Amino acid sequence: MQVRKLRGDELWRSRLNMAVAFEGDFDWEKEKAKSQEEQAKPEEAHWGAFQEGEEYPCASLIVNRYTVRFDGHMVGLGGVGGVATLPANRRGGAVRACFQGAFREMYDSGVALSALYPFSTGYYQQFGYENSVACLLWNIPLRDLPRQSPGGRVRQLFPGDSLSPLLEVYNAFYGGCNLAAAREVFDRDLEVGALLGQRRYIYLWEDGAGVPGAFLIGSRDGDVLNCRMDFSSRNCLLFRDAQAFTGLMAFVGRAFQANYKAIRFSLPQWADVSPLLPECAGLERSCFFNGMVRAVNVGRLLALCRCQGEGALTLAVTDPLLPENQGTFRLEFAPGRENRVSRAEGAPDITLGVGELTALACGIRGAEELPWMPGVQVHAAGLDLGQVFYHKPCHLLELF
C-alpha cells in the first residue's frame, strides 16, 4: 500500500471519501471541475492511502497545523480531521497507513502533539490517542443567574466593529492553558461572515475602565440562548475573571428574561463557575471529552514539560506507530534549568503508552489517577510522581 500527500487535483477524492463514509452530499461533476484548478493549502495536508495499482485513494485524512501552548512554550500541533475509508476497503490497514505517514512528517518537522475529535474513542486509542480534558455543558435557567451586577457595561458588537476585544479575552482565559492555540484574530469567520444573517449576536462586557472582560456569541435554540462551541454551534462564552463572568451573566438575566428561559454554554471542567452561581447548586450538568490528544515527539514533550522541584524519572514508553517514541527515557529536572532527557537502559520506574503519557504530561490527568489507568504500570515504590504528573489547565478550542 502506498501512502502520500494528495495533490491539489486529487483533493476532491478526499472529499468523496468523507461523503461516502459519513453519508454526506457530493456533487461529482462539480467536484471534478473544481479539481482542475485546485491547490493544496499550505496550512493543511491531505494524506491518502492507495491500494496497489489504484489511481485514487481508498482512505484519507487531513492534518491542520496549529501552534499551541505547552507548559510555557509554543509547540506545533497537528489537528487531524476528515478520517475516512471507502466501505469496501475498511479494516485493511489503510487508515493506519495514513496515520503513520502523517505522524512521520509531523515528527520530522518538529511537531510535538496531535489532536482529533473521534467518532469512537476506542478506535483512535489504537493509534495512540487518549481522551483530552473533560468539559461541562451548562444549561442555566435565566431566573437562577446573578441579579447583582458588579458594575461595568455591556455593548453589542455589530459588523464593522473591531473584534480585537474578543482576542484579548481569549488570551486572558487561555494564557496559561496547555493546548490553547495561538491566534492572530479570535475567529476569522466572524470578520467575514454574515453574522446577523446567521442570527448570531455578540455581547461584550467591559469593566469601569473599559477593559474587555467577557463576551458571548449566542444564537437561539428554541427557548435557549445557545453559546456552545462545537461542530454544530460555532458560538462561545469566555471571561477573564469572576467579576467579568458575573457581570455578563447579570446582563443576560436582566436583558433576555422575556426572550429566553435558559442560557447554554460549555467550559473546560477546571473553569468551574459553580461558586459564582449560588442558585445552581443542584443543577445537572452534562460532561463530555474535548476530543483526544497524543504526543508525536515524546522526547520533546518530556524536555519541555514543567516539573515541580528536583528529581528524576525513568519512563518506558510504547507507541504503536512511531518507533522514535518507543523505548526508555530518562528525565532529569531541577528548578532554574531546562529538563534533561536521554535514552536509558535498565529497569524503568514507570511503563506507559504514548496516549497515557500525553494525558499526564499535558495535565489532563494527575498522578493520583494512576490506579485508574490500567495501561500504566508503576515499578518503583516511593517515587513522588506528582512532581511530573499533576493537573494543569488544558483545553483546545479549535475545531478541525
The answer to whether domain 135-288 has CATH 3.40.630.30 is: yes
Cell numbers standing for residue 20: 461516502
- Residue 276 buriedness (CB in 10 A; 0-12 / 13-18 / 19+): middle
Do 135 and 177 touch, CB atoms closer than 8 A? no
Separation between Cα atoms, residue 94 and residue 56, nearest integer Å: 13
Maximum alpha-carbon separation in the chain: 70
For residue 361, the SS3 value is helix
Task: Kindly report, as residue ranges, where domains of CATH 3.40.630.30 are found in the chain.
Answer: 2-111, 135-288
Task: Kindly report, as residue ranges, where domains of CATH 3.30.1050.10 are found in the chain.
Answer: 296-387
**Is the dihedral angle over the CA atoms 207, 139, 130, 20 positive or is it negative?**
negative
pLDDT per residue as tens digits for the range 252-271? 999 999 999 999 999 999 99
Separation between Cα atoms, residue 32 and residue 9, nearest integer Å: 8
Separation between Cα atoms, residue 297 and residue 395, nearest integer Å: 19
CATH class of 296-387: alpha beta
pLDDT per residue as tens digits for the range 372-393? 999 999 998 889 999 999 999 9
pLDDT per residue as tens digits for the range 128-184? 999 999 999 999 999 999 988 999 999 999 988 999 999 999 999 999 999 999 999
Separation between Cα atoms, residue 301 and residue 178, nearest integer Å: 12
Do 255 and 126 touch, CB atoms closer than 8 A? no
What's the topology of domain 2-111? Aminopeptidase (3.40.630)
Separation between Cα atoms, residue 122 and residue 277, nearest integer Å: 36
The whole-model pTM stands at 0.94
Q: From 46, 81, 45, 58, select the one nearest 1 (Cα to Cα).
A: 58
Please give the pLDDT value at position 35. 85
pLDDT per residue as tens digits for the range 44-83? 999 999 999 899 999 999 999 999 999 999 999 999 999 9
* DSSP per-residue codes, 293-332: EEES-HHHHHHH----SSEEEEEEEE-SS-GGG-EEEEEE
Separation of CA 195 from chain center: 24
